Amino acid sequence: MTNIDTLVHSLIGQIDTKSKAVINNFLYFTVFMLLSIYGVLFFYELTEIEIIPFLYLSIIWFIFWQNSEFRGKLFLFIASVFGYIHELIGVHFEYFIYLGGVIGGVPIWILPGYGAIFWSSYNLWRTFEENYSNRHWFNQTNFVILIAFLLLILVDYLYFDLSANLLPIIAKFGLAVLLFKSIRGYRLVAFVGFFTVLTEFSGETIGTWYHPEFSFFSLMAGYIFLLWICLTLNDLFKHKKDWGKIEAFAAISLSIFYIFSMLGFVAV
């Protein structure tokens, strides 16, 4: 083995070790993802260059893939593919508009970015539970999440578009929540909802994309439904999916809604 080969193997080993340390530490991973999100959004808004964010997010996507079991890989693949197709359809029907985009008005870095962000939101929940579930204050986070949701409803209603379509949006969000059955599941919903909506709001504020109608809870409902799809596919592959009547009703209702949405008939 040459000196160059040794150096490359050593470098790969160091990257693997450090990436595992970051991915499995809640605080480190939170800081890393926030820096990545805002770095990409500001860079693209200032330059409109797509290839550099694409390469950066692709590297992150690959690192996440290497550090995932089947469920995590399913998250990355499904979220990237579904997410990019959803964005192409959304831009076509003008549900939202990007600053630029070489393919159908959607930047190519959205492809790895969608999967990476979605995987990250799930990993935040996982590391939070693993790092802090033994702390005496852990169960109090349920109340913090509830208060945060109430405040978010107030902000969405007063400053964004929840008030314009109150009943349809609340109904859609309520159906998404009904897909889950436990307190642990609701905590996961909260992490995925808050983190992905933070990304949406950041992109909207910075100017990377624009929604003519912007509602936190409408966006969260879509991300929660995608979360449920990934978890359900994982359970089906492992032959351990148990269906409840309420869950099935919510899943069928949301599936019908999003099919009509992708066909351009509804835009709530």
CB burial of residue 193 (10 Å; 0-12, 13-18, 19+): buried
Q: pLDDT per residue over 181-234, tens digit each?
A: 888 899 999 989 898 889 999 999 999 999 988 999 999 999 999 999 999 999
- Of the pLDDT bands very low, low, confident and very high (cuts 50, 70, 90), residue 268 is low
16 pLDDT above the threshold of 90: no
Q: pLDDT per residue over 38-90, tens digit each?
A: 999 999 999 999 999 999 999 999 999 999 999 999 999 999 999 999 999 99
Residue 146 has what pLDDT? 92
Query: Model-level pTM?
Result: 0.91
Locate 90 and state its tokens: 């959304």
**Domain residue ranges in the chain:** 3-262
Cβ neighbour number for residue 224 with a 10 Å cutoff: 25
What average pLDDT does range 167-172 have in this prediction? 94
Q: pLDDT per residue over 122-151, tens digit each?
A: 999 999 999 999 999 998 998 999 999 999
What average pLDDT does range 148-172 have in this prediction? 93
CB burial of residue 45 (10 Å; 0-12, 13-18, 19+): middle
DSSP-assigned letters across all residues of the chain: --HHHHHHHHHHHHHHHHHHHHHT-HHHHHHHHHHHHHHHHHHHHHH---HHHHHHHHHHHHHHHHT--HHHHHHHHHHHHHHHHHHHHHHHTTS-EES--TBTTB-TTHHHHHHHHHHHHHHHHHHHHHHHTTSTTGGGHHHHHHHHHHHHHHHHHHHSSTGGGHHHHHHHHHHHHTT--SHHHHHHHHHHHHHHHHHHHHHHHHTSEE-SS--HHHHHHHHHHHHHHHHHHHHHHTT-----HHHHHHHHHHHHHHHHHHTTS---
More confident residue, 45 or 11: 45
